[in-house]
Amino acid sequence: MPPEPGTHADWLRHARSDLSLARRTDDPDTLLETLCFHAQQAVEKCLKAVLVSRGIAPPATHNLKTLVDRFPPGLEVPAYVVDAAGLTDYAVTARYPGAYEEVDEEEYLDALRTAERVMLWAGKVLDS
């Protein structure tokens, strides 16, 4: 029997934790790629919180577009939430050394801003 999906509050609490980790530290050993991974994870968990709040079991995926595509009809989803799907690559590819370009400061800040905006949107959706 698969585990219960948790409550939307559980998902949001974990999203907040990832967003906290995504915020830059002064540790020179922390890679921007790692911070972007946590920004992606914050968005993923926000989207899953919204799904759970609507009675939809979240699929086991890191693909943010797949999650957005599962939203019920009638849920108002801003373009920036849909566009957050661009963070999906940080879920796996950027976590390991290999064939990707290093993340620069601007790219990191964009990922962080995206995660913060999605977090605010999810909070409003869940409060309504």
Between the two ends of the chain, the Cα-to-Cα distance in Å is 32
Taking every pair of Cα atoms in the chain, the longest distance, rounded to a whole number of angstroms, is: 45
Distance between CA atoms of 83 and 80, rounded to whole angstroms?
5
What does the block give as tokens for 74? Answer: 């009638």
Q: Give the integer Cα–Cα distance in Å for 86 and 37.
A: 12
Task: Kindly report the pTM of this predicted structure.
Answer: 0.93
Q: What residue segments make up the domains of the chain, in order of their start?
A: 8-127
For 24-60, what is each residue's pLDDT tens digit?
878 999 999 999 999 999 999 999 999 999 999 999 9
Provide the CATH number for the domain formed by 8-127 in this structure: 1.20.120.330
